[in-house]
């Protein structure tokens, strides 16, 4: 499933294609939405906003199209009149004079006004977005220290969109490694310096991945690996998807295990499980 950085880059692409443009037609596949198509004709696309793993396309008629891709949804941008070659089902088309923004396979699409937008169940539950400029190190730190999140294991906490929105599975591994913390530890077990390092890693890893298109290694390090012949995929992460490979800091083998139903990767030497040792 794409994580916050991927959704944000997708929003950038959609915005670049149809942002500010006048809508010629909106098409919905779901019968319950079809009758609402006409109210979008001649409206203008005001904003394209990623929220956690959802996408909001807002129009100057006061309505917002909410979509959540779940596992399968995919946006395509095409010149007007062109459709991608795909076996997927078209679920939503936002058509402007020059460009079409096409959403395939997504199962969750809603048309919301201002009131229903503020009560949308998924959006209502979201914590602050890791990519939003208003989300600061101090605000993440404060959240880590609340009763609600303090005693949650990092492995599950970092996947919880109600804690910080936009994190996901590869970011979870990368954040724990960057902060040199084992995912079984809880904010409660950490020193305040540890918690500050964790808050910083949450923002750094997510924002770097957004800027680089999915690379969580520092740019200089990734570039050096590429000049040594590493593929993009092999010069991407500290630990994620690197089971058995040497840790980039200490040479220890990276290990993989399952946590909260998803795979996670750690270096046991850089990320000792202090909780287990206590």
Near Zn ion by CB under 5 A, which window of 24-32, 48-56, 72-80, 264-272? 264-272
Between CA 127 and CA 168 the distance in angstroms is: 13
- C-beta of 8 vs 247, nearer to Zn ion: 247
Contacts of 258 (CB under 8 A, 6+ apart): 264
254 binds Zn ion (CB under 5 A): no
Of residues 211-250, those binding Zn ion (CB under 5 A): 247, 249-250
- C-beta of 48 vs 222, nearer to Zn ion: 222
Between CA 36 and CA 48 the distance in angstroms is: 19
56 binds Zn ion (CB under 5 A): no
- C-beta of 41 vs 269, nearer to Zn ion: 269
- The full DSSP string for 71-110 is TT-EEEEEETT-----SSPEEEEEEESSEEEEEES--EEE
Told to judge if 84 belongs to the known catalytic residues of this protein, a careful annotator would answer no
Instruction: State the residue number with the nearest CB to Zn ion.
Output: 247
55 binds Zn ion (CB under 5 A): no
Residue of 13, 197, 262, 275 marked catalytic:
262
Smallest gap from Cβ 64 to Zn ion, in A, equals 45
Question: Which H or E element spans position 46?
Answer: strand 45-51
- C-beta of 196 vs 268, nearer to Zn ion: 268
By CB under 5 A, how many residues form the interface with Zn ion? 7
Q: Are 247 and 152 spatial neighbours (Cβ–Cβ below 8 Å)? A: no
Q: What is the dihedral of CA 150, 156, 157, 163, to 10 degrees?
A: -140
176 binds Zn ion (CB under 5 A): no
Near Zn ion by CB under 5 A, which window of 59-67, 83-91, 128-136, 259-267? 259-267
- C-beta of 80 vs 246, nearer to Zn ion: 246
Near Zn ion by CB under 5 A, which window of 71-79, 109-117, 130-138, 261-269? 261-269
Told to judge if 2 belongs to the known catalytic residues of this protein, a careful annotator would answer yes
Neighbours of 1 (CB within 10 A): 13
Give the residue, chosen from 252, 256, 262, 272, that forms a contact with Zn ion under the rule CB under 5 A.
252
Put residue 62 in one of left, alpha, beta given phi > 0 → left and psi -120 to 50 → alpha: left
157 binds Zn ion (CB under 5 A): no
Residue of 51, 53, 207, 236 marked catalytic:
53
Between CA 33 and CA 15 the distance in angstroms is: 23
Between CA 245 and CA 53 the distance in angstroms is: 30
Told to judge if 262 belongs to the known catalytic residues of this protein, a careful annotator would answer yes
Q: Are 91 and 104 spatial neighbours (Cβ–Cβ below 8 Å)? A: yes
- C-beta of 92 vs 176, nearer to Zn ion: 176
Q: Are 208 and 171 spatial neighbours (Cβ–Cβ below 8 Å)? A: no
Cite the active site residues: 2-3, 53, 262
**Site for Zn ion, rule CB under 5 A:** 247, 249-250, 252, 267, 269-270
């Amino acid at each position: 499933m794409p994580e916050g950085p991927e959704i944000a880059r997708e929003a950038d692409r959609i915005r670049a294609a149809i942002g500010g443009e006048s809508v010629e037609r909106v098409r919905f596949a779901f019968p319950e939405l079809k009758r609402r198509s006409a109210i979008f004709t001649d409206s203008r696309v005001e904003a394209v906003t990623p929220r956690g793993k959802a996408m909001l396309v807002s129009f100057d008629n006061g309505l917002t199209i909410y979509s959540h891709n779940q596992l399968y949804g995919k946006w395509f941008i095409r010149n007007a009149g062109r459709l991608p070659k795909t076996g997927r089902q078209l679920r939503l088309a936002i058509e402007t004079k020059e460009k079409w923004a096409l959403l395939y396979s997504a199962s969750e699409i809603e048309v919301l006004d201002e009131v229903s937008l503020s009560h949308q169940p998924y959006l209502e539950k979201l914590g602050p977005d890791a990519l939003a400029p208003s989300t600061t190190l101090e605000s993440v730190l404060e959240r880590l220290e609340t009763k609600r999140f303090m005693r949650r294991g990092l492995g599950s906490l970092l996947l919880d969109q109600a804690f910080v929105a936009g994190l996901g599975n590869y970011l979870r591994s990368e954040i724990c490694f960057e902060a040199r913390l084992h995912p079984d530890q809880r904010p409660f077990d950490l020193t305040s310096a540890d918690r500050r390092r964790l808050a910083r890693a949450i923002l750094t890893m997510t924002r770097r991945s957004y800027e680089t298109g999915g690379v969580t290694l520092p740019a200089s390090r990734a570039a050096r690996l590429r000049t040594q012949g590493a593929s993009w995929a092999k010069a991407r992460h500290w630990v994620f998807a690197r089971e058995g490979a040497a840790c980039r800091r200490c040479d220890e083998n990276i290990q993989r295990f399952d946590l909260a139903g998803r795979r996670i990767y750690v270096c046991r030497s850089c990320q000792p499980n202090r909780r287990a040792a206590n």
